[in-house]
């Protein structure tokens, strides 16, 4: 460990707030490990704790990546894995803060009345086109069930 990460861990252990430089102006919780004190006291125990957190976080992230093309909440699981990593690693804490900031900005943009009106117009237009295509298909080919039922 280098001196900078040791200072960050000491700040996190004492609960000192630091600013992450995102321009938000509010004090952010300290960066660094959130392991219990008794684990931080022993270097070997702390390193093994970090390895365990990394492996568990990696398993969760890999499960999320697998869920992206398959059924399941892929992105949610990936962010959960990032949150697990963020309990120990500064880089994951910074990535998680950046992601939260971007999601908040996107939510605020989505609530803009002009953007909402545009999204509603696009959705209605898409539904009308899909309905027209489905109507043309049914008019041309009729409703054919995928199985044959003889009464």
> How do residues 23-36 score in pLDDT, each as one tens digit?
444 445 677 777 77
Give me the pLDDT at residue 106, please. 87
- CA–CA dist 55, 100 (Å, integer): 23
Helices 74-86, 90-110: crossing angle, 10 deg rounding: 140
pLDDT tens track for 58-94: 999 999 999 999 888 888 999 899 999 988 888 888 9
How far is Cα 70 from Cα 57, in angstroms, rounded to an integer? Answer: 20
């Amino acid at each position: 460990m280098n001196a900078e990460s040791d200072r960050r861990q000491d700040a996190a252990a004492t609960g000192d707030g630091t600013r992450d430089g995102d321009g938000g102006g509010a004090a952010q919780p300290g960066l660094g490990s959130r392991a219990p004190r008794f684990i931080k006291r022993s270097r070997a125990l702390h390193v093994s704790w970090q390895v365990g957190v990394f492996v568990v976080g990696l398993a969760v992230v890999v499960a999320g990546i697998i869920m992206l093309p398959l059924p399941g909440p892929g992105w949610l699981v990936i962010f959960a894995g990032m949150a697990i990593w963020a309990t120990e690693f500064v880089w994951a804490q910074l990535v998680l803060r950046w992601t939260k900031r971007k999601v908040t900005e996107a939510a605020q943009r989505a609530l803009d009345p002009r953007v909402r009106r545009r999204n509603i117009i696009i959705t209605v237009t898409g539904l009308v086109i899909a309905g027209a295509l489905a109507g043309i298909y049914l008019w041309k080919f009729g409703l054919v069930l995928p199985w044959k039922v003889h009464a």
